[in-house]
Copies of this chain bind each other. A is one copy, B any other.
Amino acid sequence: METISKMACGRLEACGLKPSVQRLMIMEYLLSHCTHPTVEDIHKALGRRMPTLSRTTVYNTLRLFAGHKAATMITIDERRVCYDGVTKPHAHFYCRECGRIYDLDVENVPSIGGTLNIGGNLADEVQLYYKGVCAACAEKKQNIINIINKTNK
């Protein structure tokens, strides 16, 4: 607990952000939950300990984090934006069945140190996304198919 709190504070200061209570709580949540939470996820989770926390503040804060590279905005899900507190380059997997986003440990993940010039375009961020059906959902689907086959016999 102590450690996460210090890590959160360190990250904010390293990114030039003043560590307000709300910002600290949100950063702590990001660092301790690698589930790529949505605004709603974070607002609901933190709302228990801080009932006055506004959804607007969560929106503003996460957008602020992304702008200062204190967190990454993930747009893999067409319906809502997610956020990631892990900064080291890694790929993501999006499951179309359950909507969950997983970290992926694949080789050759492109990364950018500072700014990359691609044909005159100045890139400061890369994202590598895979989409499909996750292991858990694939298994569930298979089980259902098995049951149907058994019933039809």
Contacts and interface: CB of A to CB of B under 8 A. Distances in A.
A127 B120 CA distance: 21
Nearest to A128: B128
A40 to B, nearest CB: 15
Nearest to A131: B125
A83 to B, nearest CB: 11
Interface string A127-141: 111111111001000
B77 A95 contact: no
Interface string A22-49: 0000000000000000000000000000
Interface of A: 73, 75-78, 81, 93, 95, 102, 104-106, 108, 110, 115-116, 118-135, 138
